Amino acid sequence: MNTPGPFDPRTEAHLLSAYVDNELDAVNRERIEKHLAENETTRREVERLRQFNQVTGALRLKDAPAEEWEGFWDNFHNQTHRRMGWVLVTLGVTVVGVWFLFNLLKMLIHSDILPLYVKGGIFAGAAGVLVLIISVFRERIHKRARTRYKDVIR
């Protein structure tokens, strides 16, 4: 394994934070300490990082009042029940819809009343609706997977 050369603050600045937090291995710690002995700018940066750690380490989150927690759990249960309800409604509508469309398709195929071009128009329209529905679902899945703000809580 190659040993790293001298510390380069332009490409390895991220190591300074790890140095301040005591998260470096001995080799990198030694490289940075050697560089700090020679470079005033880097020493100032390390001191600034230490001060930043002191300030942020002293911050504490305020506990939420009991009423807020109560409201949170009530809202959580309501949302969970509604989601379950929507899943069941969607499942039921999908099953009944597929059954209905299958029987409609069977009836159209075996019907002697409708001319062939009308049957073709019905199938083309149904295929167009199906393609649009698939396109919307695909787009939503694609956007949800790539959104940068999906974990942001408002």
Query: Quick check: is 83 in a domain?
Result: yes
Check whether residue 54 and residue 82 sit in a common domain: no
- pLDDT, tens digit, 9 for 90 and up, residues 57-103: 888 888 888 877 777 777 787 788 888 999 999 999 999 999 998 89
**Could you tell me if residue 22 is left (phi over 0), alpha (psi between -120 and 50 degrees) or otherwise beta?**
left
Q: What is the pTM of this model?
A: 0.41
Residues ≥6 apart with Cβ < 8 Å to 84: none
Check whether residue 34 and residue 84 sit in a common domain: no
Q: How many domains is the chain partitioned into structurally?
A: 2
Check whether residue 91 and residue 122 sit in a common domain: yes
Query: Quick check: is 1 in a domain?
Result: no
Query: Quick check: is 109 in a domain?
Result: yes
Check whether residue 36 and residue 88 sit in a common domain: no
Check whether residue 19 and residue 51 sit in a common domain: yes
The answer to whether residues 27 and 3 touch, using CB atoms and an 8 Å cutoff, is yes
> For residues 104 and 51, which has the higher predicted lDDT (pLDDT)?
51
Check whether residue 92 and residue 32 sit in a common domain: no
- pLDDT, tens digit, 9 for 90 and up, residues 97-150: 999 988 988 888 888 888 888 888 988 998 999 999 999 999 988 888 777 776
- Domain of residue 96 covers 78-146
Check whether residue 84 and residue 123 sit in a common domain: yes
Tokens representing residue 2 in the block? 């190659």
